[in-house]
Amino acid sequence: MSPILRYLLFAWESIIYGPAYGYLNQLIRVPEPLDHNRAWDLITEDWPPLVNWLRKHYPPTFMRKLLLRRILNQDHSLGIENHYDVSNEFFCQFLDKKYVAYSCADFIEDNDTLEDAQTRKFEHILSMLRPKAGEKILELGPGWGSMLNAVYAVTGDKENLVGYTLSQQQIEYNKTHGGFNVELRDFITTEYEKEGFDAIYAVAVWEHVRPSEVSMLLKKLYEALKPGGRLIQHFFCLTTDTVPISCLAGQLIFPGSQLSSHRFHVRAFEKAGFQIHQQTVHDYRPTIRAWFENLTSNRERAIEAAGVREYNRFIIAFAATWKFFDDGEANVYRFELRKPVAKTNLTDDQIRRSKTATAPL
Ligand SMILES: C[S@@+](CC[C@H](N)C(=O)[O-])C[C@H]1O[C@@H](n2cnc3c(N)ncnc32)[C@H](O)[C@@H]1O
């Protein structure tokens, strides 16, 4: 594409989708590998006040909603294929070697490696999930098998462990690495066996569930769990209820996905009947920076696996997502949810009083 055409596209996209979208897409389209340090600084450093104002306010909310509505009409499988079926080899150039996990790790100590931080994250999720041999366990969106491996290491039971993904490449990967049973299924539209699972978990997956799908899917998951069953959720969500501009630019990275707010999710969990037993908050920025450094160190192999455009897209994605978290637009949360053992026949007033009562009702 000629430089003139690229600038015309930049101007056009900036008018329609806003300057943040236009600018990021312009960088992605650069025909040679980006100077990664310069790209990181350009995106993550403070912008001049007027540019920053435009970045956060244009296009106005009604236009954002109209544009998103059009994009969100597409089938989920197209968005998943666009992001995850780039090339398994490409993802291996920046994810950790131990788990191949594509989710926020728990960096705590100054000298933590990505592997240390991922190990800490999986240990924490396992402490919430408490998997046992013989239990029927379902993973929504297992990626390259990170958590399947962690669960199997505890239970030694592959028979009762299953994953649903929309990525054909991930199915192949899980077949050849670990021999896990991963099925090609859209976990949003699929039918679940009633009370078919002891535990269901999702790590960095709920971000793909659109606001209009959340309640319906939670109802399905609630019914799919046995009484007392666990639902473990690790995902990032917006800190406010407004639709930020970043949701439009986010379509360059995860087309067809739309985030909801933390408040929205908490209400939806409770409305579906789940009890929230634990909730923790995590910082995504060190993980994103570690992936960025790995990808740029393995630039040649990454480009060989997926081409310059994908390399540039992920460089931009890491810098823009880091900025998104640094601006406080979103946080990563981990929830341990439980389906109550039996439906209570207490009235709302009795439940309210029981929360403060010192003696049993
Ligand atoms: C960010 S990856 C997380 C992978 C893995 N859990 C990890 O922590 O490494 C998101 C995963 O969700 C899957 N996914 C997203 N939406 C889906 C849907 N509607 N049905 C099935 N899988 C979906 C993708 O295929 C991918 O495996």
Would you tell me the crossing angle of helices 114-129 and 285-297 to the nearest 10 degrees? 140
Residue nearest ligand 1's atom 11 by CA? 141
| DSSP code for 251 | G
Residue nearest ligand 1's atom 18 by CA? 186
CA distance 252 to 298: 23
State if residue 256 touches ligand 1 by the CB under 6 angstroms criterion: no
Strands 161-165 and 197-203: unpaired
State if residue 75 touches ligand 1 by the CB under 6 angstroms criterion: no
CA distance 217 to 272: 9
**Residue 119: which residues within 8 A CB-CB, separation 6 or more?**
98, 99
Span 203-228, average pLDDT:
97
Residue range 6-28, pLDDT digits in tens: 899 999 999 999 999 999 999 99
Mean pLDDT of the chain: 93
Distance 44 CA to ligand 1 centre (A): 27
State if residue 235 touches ligand 1 by the CB under 6 angstroms criterion: no
Span 75-97, average pLDDT:
92
Residue nearest ligand 1's atom 20 by CA? 186
pLDDT score, position 348? 62
Distance 206 CA to ligand 1 centre (A): 8
Instruction: Answer positive or negative: Cα dihedral of 138, 140, 144, 149.
Output: negative
State if residue 203 touches ligand 1 by the CB under 6 angstroms criterion: yes
CA distance 257 to 243: 13
Q: Which CATH superfamily is domain 76-342 in?
A: Vaccinia Virus protein VP39 (3.40.50.150)
CB 18 within 8 A of CB 30: no
Q: 281: how many CB neighbours lie within 10 A of its CB? A: 9
Q: How many degrees, rounded to 5, is the angle at CA 196 between CA 194 and CA 199?
A: 120
Residue range 279-318, pLDDT digits in tens: 999 999 999 999 999 999 999 999 999 999 999 999 999 9
Res. 163 pLDDT band, cuts 50 70 90: very high
Res. 56 pLDDT band, cuts 50 70 90: confident
pLDDT > 50? residue 232: yes
Res. 272 pLDDT band, cuts 50 70 90: very high
Decide: helix, strand or coil at residue 286: helix
Residue type, 116: D
Phi-psi region of 18 (alpha: psi -120 to 50; beta: other; left: phi over 0): left
pLDDT > 60? residue 253: yes
Distance 245 CA to ligand 1 centre (A): 24
Residue nearest ligand 1's atom 13 by CA? 141
CA distance 48 to 36: 21
pLDDT score, position 343? 62
**Residue 45: which residues within 8 A CB-CB, separation 6 or more?**
none
CA distance 179 to 136: 17
CB 160 within 8 A of CB 134: yes
Span 321-339, average pLDDT:
97
Which tops the pLDDT comparison, 216 or 353?
216
State if residue 332 touches ligand 1 by the CB under 6 angstroms criterion: no
Distance 83 CA to ligand 1 centre (A): 10
User: Cis omega (within 30 of 0) on the bond before 340?
Assistant: no
State if residue 47 touches ligand 1 by the CB under 6 angstroms criterion: no
Residue range 23-55, pLDDT digits in tens: 999 999 999 999 999 999 999 998 888 888 888
pLDDT > 90? residue 181: yes
